[in-house]
Structure 1
């Protein structure tokens, strides 16, 4: 339960129609199995105690009386289990019969939630037996316990306040205004649904999309348990189709027509954080809060985190993502050029990934605008650390794309500047490096002035997050096309765009750029090879992009972020290494905000962006000590 994680389970057994005693034994068996697997919330299917398809046998006193007897047996057998158990059974209240979900914990009945929407169309005839619980608000005594029967209640864990359970039953989620909507507005973070949804051609796909959309729209966890084998097949067939979603994302799905449980570890703290950030997520306060208390347990997480959250692992989805991002970049630049009446653009070419991507965006934009690509001025500015490999790749790329190519060797200018400020060129410190970066930016700006154009920036999202740029150097441009593209995605974007171009030389050049180490090339080369590799200094970009995604998108606490990073990368990096780079990430993310506060415009391409005008408003003098203290 630490860090907001909770293990949930959904499942069903082979129902024995109207054999309440046997069904009770199966409920107990699955409850004990779930508890043994450290499950906090178990959801079993609709009317699982009696069977869903017993029809007019629901009117039989024998069935109804035995249901209460077996409910007591279930309570006795599960009173030592620290698992919230949700089961379905019929309840008689006054003169009516209700289809209810009972919420149990440690031998107590926390409450009963009646089904709101009673289907009485097509193959469903529930209206013959059950009444809607929409307006029901009754206290009844069952198994010597007084319980509240109403739709307007939420079951809250007093030890873990982010666990708040709302209940709806089967048809309820198919209705235009779902009970789960009201429950979530009243604070529920987890919706459970005991269901009996029959199988039809194509219905499984619709069921997935329905539960996915519901959990996404309500920003909640959703556990859906469906009945299956054992139910009557007189007219329909049920398939044991269970689903567990978290905010629109499928965590686990059952194999249909198989009994048993499926498990998933859900992050409800993240759900709560998401809602706080959404100013359009309203709050209500008219549901009753029913307290219970789960023990505190640190789960051994069984949960997948994508090590590259910005890059889809599926090849086809990755290609689609690259196409979409490239289109956003391209159309962003096109709009800026047309709106500002800009004819020419200038870009600095290093022969690395970022400048290559920027040039490809510019080339595509000019093609789509029907403008001559010769109006793109690409400038190489070799200096002390430039290698033949990167320089030749930049020159070849510019030639193959038929843009205007310029080479401005800045060595003499930088050496003159060293003399002007009395700096020893043998001292390879930050001044030595930044002088080169600022000289390059001055050259680009001056060429843009000559051409009556603008400088297009090449820096990417990962560099912006870490402040890995020279202030008023490569930090500055008039429009940054890569500003929201993370480093881990840049490589795939260049690879994708390379497939759009024909020509053996161009393809070979792009592929060599893809395999060139990431480097600012500000320190002298050794034997013609790059000596300054960025990831040796700031750490692996795959880790920093992982940190950035979960810090900026979900506001994870440092220890939680460390925990999931170790869980995700444990086979590649040890905990000490991950902690080292996470500490550096926090330090740089906070202390380099002053650079982000004045970065140029650029298009947002994904859910994480750091524009001071849009996604991140943060003071440049914020103190990072609380974050670092938690990692010590």
Structure 2
């Protein structure tokens, strides 16, 4: 019948309704859904997992650091080393590594010259820890105050010492490096660099100051891992040395270049200025180890840091993560010129910024594309 002719065959019912056209908005929603991060990544990707393996890995890393320095000492027939010992984490780790290298070579620890150079921001806590640790380890320790020399330098260049600006800070850092370099000549040794991988990534170093040394033992160790290496040595050493190391671990990270507070406490806290190192190390690992783009790293970080972790580690809001992610990329690109002329140092993990090995990057490379992607995440 005519009515029958107008009905569609039953076999074609599945094709009766065509899907809605894929609009740009729908495509964006589908893409965002596909990009959702459902599983948190390790919060500290550079740090070995807890348990027996962590102690083994920490021991292996310390051995690699010491082996690199041992080789350099033997190659240069050097029996003396000079370290600026501030009482902070990085210089403490550098001293522990240097002691291991000297012991491996059968050299007397008195050939290690640890130098405290109190300036305008040095606190009694850090200075005391430096001196006590040197005594416990049996190395030579001396104090060379830099205040008078820096004030004379201010007069030479016409800088007002009441103005605590970048000149005020960096003049102290460069005076300290001059002291260490010249003392190394005096004793016939060389300067051990203390800066870590996180600082190198962010350019958090004064050019031609703590940026420079004859061998940087911490160049392959990020800040989050430095803590665990020092804690491991505290467990290994025990006694008073362990107590000192644990107080170093409890001390706020600071360059101590600005005067202390009225009650003698550290006034300048690095992470207030440059951002949380656990975030920066997370960004650094996933950018360099896997080549992830800012958008993916941001989504991973939002999922990973959504909840607080143990030991008082905080959660971070997406806006906070985005702010420090932008800081990370901006600084990483802008500060490449410091990494282009790094001192030698051992590679101890899968990430390195050495211009002689893993990381070849023009000093004037533009961050525009990366920052544009980050701005689009807001």
Please classify the TM superposition score into its range, dividing by the shorter chain length.
0.7 to 0.9
Query: Which position in structure 1 is the counterpart of 2:51?
Result: 315
Q: What aligned pairs does 1:363-374 form with structure 2 within 5 A after superposition?
A: 363-374=99-110
Q: Partners in 1 of 2:235 and 2:185 — Cα distance?
A: 34
Query: Which position in structure 2 is the counterpart of 1:328?
Result: 64
Matched, 1:496 2:239: no
Q: What are the superposed Cα offsets for residues 498-536 of structure 1, whole Å, 9 maximum, x if unpaired?
A: 22224x321211110010000000000012100100000
Q: CA deviation at 1:312?
A: 2.1
More RCO (CA 8 Å, sep 6+): 2
Q: Partners in 2 of 1:372 and 1:517 — Cα distance?
A: 32
Matched, 1:602 2:345: yes
Compare the two structures and name the one with the higher helix fraction. Answer: 2
Residue 70 of structure 2 aligns to a residue whose secondary structure is: helix
Task: Choose 1 or 2 for highest CA Rg.
Answer: 1
Query: Which position in structure 1 is the counterpart of 2:211?
Result: 475
Distance of aligned partners of 1:595 and 1:297 in 2 relative to their CA distance in 1, 3 Å threshold: closer
Q: Partners in 1 of 2:37 and 2:179 — Cα distance?
A: 53
Matched, 1:508 2:243: yes
Residue 236 of structure 2 aligns to a residue whose secondary structure is: coil
Q: Partners in 1 of 2:48 and 2:359 — Cα distance?
A: 24
Q: CA deviation at 1:538?
A: 0.5
Q: What are the superposed Cα offsets for residues 86-106 of structure 1, whole Å, 9 maximum, x if unpaired?
A: xxxxxxxxxxxxxxxxxxxxx
Q: Partners in 1 of 2:340 and 2:105 — Cα distance?
A: 32
Matched-pair contact (CA < 8 Å) for 2:40–2:300: no
Q: Partners in 2 of 1:314 and 1:375 — Cα distance?
A: 36
Matched, 1:528 2:271: no
Q: CA deviation at 1:460?
A: 0.3
Q: What aligned pairs does 1:240-319 form with structure 2 within 5 A after superposition?
A: 296=31, 298-299=33-34, 300-319=36-55
Q: Could you tell me the TM-score, scaled by structure 1's length?
A: 0.53
Matched, 1:454 2:197: no
Matched, 1:593 2:339: no
Q: CA deviation at 1:570?
A: 1.9
Q: What aligned pairs does 1:131-142 form with structure 2 within 5 A after superposition?
A: none
Compare the two structures and name the one with the higher strand fraction. Answer: 1
Query: Which position in structure 1 is the counterpart of 2:114?
Result: 378
Residue 576 of structure 1 aligns to a residue whose secondary structure is: helix
Query: Which position in structure 1 is the counterpart of 2:372?
Result: 629
Q: CA deviation at 1:558?
A: 1.1
Q: Partners in 1 of 2:102 and 2:294 — Cα distance?
A: 44
Count, aligned residues:
340
Matched, 1:411 2:129: no
Q: CA deviation at 1:495?
A: 0.7
Query: Which position in structure 2 is the counterpart of 1:519?
Result: 254
Matched, 1:618 2:361: yes
Residue 161 of structure 2 aligns to a residue whose secondary structure is: coil
Q: Partners in 2 of 1:386 and 1:353 — Cα distance?
A: 15
Q: CA deviation at 1:546?
A: 0.2
Residue 361 of structure 2 aligns to a residue whose secondary structure is: coil
Distance of aligned partners of 1:407 and 1:317 in 2 relative to their CA distance in 1, 3 Å threshold: same
The answer for unaligned runs of 5 or more in structure 2 is 1-13, 15-29, 308-314
Q: CA deviation at 1:296?
A: 4.9
Query: Which position in structure 1 is the counterpart of 2:96?
Result: 360
Q: CA deviation at 1:302?
A: 2.4
Q: Partners in 2 of 1:441 and 1:315 — Cα distance?
A: 39
Q: What aligned pairs does 1:20-419 form with structure 2 within 5 A after superposition?
A: 296=31, 298-299=33-34, 300-419=36-155
Q: Partners in 2 of 1:373 and 1:439 — Cα distance?
A: 26
Matched-pair contact (CA < 8 Å) for 2:90–2:226: yes
Q: Partners in 2 of 1:514 and 1:558 — Cα distance?
A: 31
Distance of aligned partners of 1:410 and 1:301 in 2 relative to their CA distance in 1, 3 Å threshold: same
CA-based RMSD of the aligned residues comes to 1.5
Residue 456 of structure 1 aligns to a residue whose secondary structure is: strand
Q: Partners in 1 of 2:291 and 2:168 — Cα distance?
A: 37
Q: Partners in 2 of 1:301 and 1:445 — Cα distance?
A: 49
Q: Could you tell me the TM-score, scaled by structure 2's length?
A: 0.88
Q: Partners in 2 of 1:524 and 1:481 — Cα distance?
A: 29
